[in-house]
Amino acid sequence: VVAVLVILDGASEPTDRRSASAHPTSLELARTPVLDGLVAQGSLMRLRTVPPGLPAGSETAIPALLGWTPRAPVDRGAIEAAAYEVAIAAGHRAWRVDVLDRHGERARELDAMRAARELDARTPHHEVRHLAEHRLLVTGSPPLPASALVDGLHPWPEGSVPPRILDSQTTLVAARGAAAGVARLMGASVLIPNGATGRPDTDLACKAVVAIGAIARGTGRVIVHIGGPDEAAHARNAAQKVAVLERVDRELLAPIARAVRAAGGTLRVCPDHGCDPRTGAHDASPVPCLIWPAGQGAAGARLTERAVAELPVMDVGAGASDLVAA
Ligand SMILES: [Zn+2]
């Protein structure tokens, strides 16, 4: 019986429960009739995906959702290298380096490509790749060369690497990015559909077709990662974040729910962490999580932060396999 998990990257947002005039969140604003119908036949829980003290981000939360709870910051460089299938020689490391402009905002892609060429020229013993957008990857022997520490370049800290605890019974469908890297390091099979960009413009229908193919082949766990909500929130584009959630409902959740129902499986839907479109910053608050189908159903409720605010917080680490693998 297949267990499907759809991860809505950065979809949730911080809420101030005491304030009656609190901003509606994107999950509250988005019209999601399919998701609402699933909640009516499912149950909601409040899930802590980011262990206390660790940075709120996909490199922390996605390993936890896949069954390994990090105890220390996770190595973003190793994840990006795995995502882009860059082999790391024995004794070498990979570092993710972000290119930011003088306001601390993500640099434009052309500027990041130029920064990659300049850094590569200054680091003869290391390789520098432009991955996408503002993201670079430096590989070679430690330590990271000092020339990668100049103004505008922001290396991620080294950290722990997710262990290989999964096998091909887990398949992840995603764009080339953190989720793909995490899944590959953990030993899952990774499918990157044509047209999957990780951005709000991604081809969701194509992602659904690939996920349904994995369900049809009898894969035990199928995880679908959607990067668009997080990217829209980083760009502080609140309307785009709502729009991508509405498109996910129509183009991805509808066909996947039909396939899960036909297979007699279970479907879970949750953000990995929050990302506030007012600030562009990640949020570590526990996230709302749908499990479908479930006994009595949560009539009238929706998958929102406030709908689960009074529920006890469940730690994803306390029983990740129960939560995501049925
Ligand atoms: Zn993010």
Residues (pLDDT < 70) of the chain are 17-21, 317-326
pLDDT in tens, 97-109: 999 999 989 999 9
Taking CA atoms, 47 is separated from 64, 83, 248, in Å, by 11, 26, 21
C-alpha of residue 232 to centroid of ligand 1, in Å = 9
* Cα–ligand 1 centroid distance for 287 (angstroms): 15
Ligand 1 centre distance from Cα of residue 124 (Å) = 31
The CA-based angle 171-294-219, given to 5 degrees, is 15
Do the bridges between strand 266-270 and strand 287-292 make them parallel or antiparallel, or are there none, so unpaired? antiparallel
| Four-point Cα dihedral 144, 190, 326, 295, nearest 10 | 110
Distance 313 CA to ligand 1 centre (A): 23
CA 176 / ligand 1 centre spacing (Å): 14
Tell me the residues surrounding ligand 1 (ion) with CB < 5 Å. Answer: 230
Q: Which of 232, 285, 291, 193 is nearest to 9 (CA)?
A: 232
Give the Å distance between the CA of 89 and the centre of ligand 1.
28
What's the rounded Cα separation, in Å, for the pair 270 and 5?
Answer: 8
pTM, two decimals, is 0.93
Tally the residues of the chain: 326
Dist. CA 58 → ligand 1 center (Å): 7
> How is residue 147 annotated by DSSP?
G
| pLDDT score at 320 | 43
Going from the Cα of 296 to the center of ligand 1, the distance in angstroms, rounded, reads 35
Q: Give the C-alpha separation, 126 to 140, whole Å.
A: 5
Q: What is the pLDDT of residues 152-181, one digit of tens each?
A: 999 999 999 999 999 999 999 999 999 999
Angle at 207 between CA 205 and CA 212, to 5 degrees: 95
Q: How far is the CA of 57 from the centre of ligand 1 (A)?
A: 6
Report how far ligand 1's centroid is from the alpha carbon of 282 (Å): 6
Q: How far is CA 217 from CA 239, 276, 316, in A?
A: 37, 37, 28
pLDDT value at residue 300? 82
Backbone CA torsion sign across 284, 172, 208, 77: positive
Q: How far apart are CA 52 and CA 48, in angstroms?
A: 9
Question: What Å distances lie between residue 136 and 5, 100, 127, 159, CA to CA?
Answer: 29, 11, 10, 17
Given a contact cutoff of 8 angstroms between Cβ atoms, the answer to whether 2 and 274 are in contact is no
DSSP states of 288-310: EEEEES-SS--TT--S-TGGGTT
What the block records as the tokens of 245 is 């959630």
Cα of 36 vs centre of ligand 1, distance in Å, is 25
1 C-alpha vs ligand 1 centroid, how far in Å?
32
For the stretch 304-321, pLDDT in tens is: 999 999 999 999 866 544
